[in-house]
Amino acid sequence: MQVTAAVVAPVKPATLFARIDRLDDYPRWLDIVQRVEGTEPHPDDEGPAWIVDLGSRVGPLQRSKRLRMVRTVCDDPSEVRFERREHDGRDHSPWVLSVVIDELEPEVSTMKMTLSYGGSLFGPVLERLLQREIDASRPRLLAWIEAE
């Protein structure tokens, strides 16, 4: 499954990048990200690591997932990528969040986020849930960026 979304923000790419290059602040604007906590990187990690709790309600059911995510690409101010990296010896479905930022005008940027999930546990339910969350998160992200 892969979901892609874009947003146009009235800020320079560097300003936008500074808001999304670490996972710490994602719960501020992305409700599906319920909690983020920094964690010690493993020697095989390419960058900083976080424990991320994802969750949402689907009808009467509460779904949640804990992931260990590592920043694998950090090209300021244009690209950042986070990938699931568990070091427990078990096989895990891949999760990848890629973000690309481009300048449209001197004070206007576009951000394209792509979330890829390689498992089959959630299926079409997850895709619909993510699309709903993306639509709701755009105004929260823009309000947070413009307020700072």
**SS3 (DSSP) at 133:** helix
Q: Is the pLDDT of residue 59 over 80?
A: no
Average pLDDT over residues 10-14: 95
- Which pLDDT value is given to residue 124? 65
Place of tokens 């413009």: 146
- Distance CA(23)–CA(82), nearest Å, equals 9
**Which helix (DSSP H) or strand (DSSP E) does residue 129 occupy?**
helix 123-147
Enter the tokens of residue 128.
Answer: 């619909």
d(CA 63, CA 114): 21
Report whether pLDDT(78) > 90. yes
24, 42, 44: which is closest to 33 by C-alpha? 24
More confident residue, 9 or 3: 9
Comparison of pLDDT for 35 and 133, the residue scoring more: 35
Structure-block tokens of residue 56: 């949402």
Q: Average pLDDT of the chain?
A: 89
Does domain 2-147 fall under CATH 3.30.530.20? My reply is: yes
CA dist., res. 103 & res. 84, Å (int)? 28
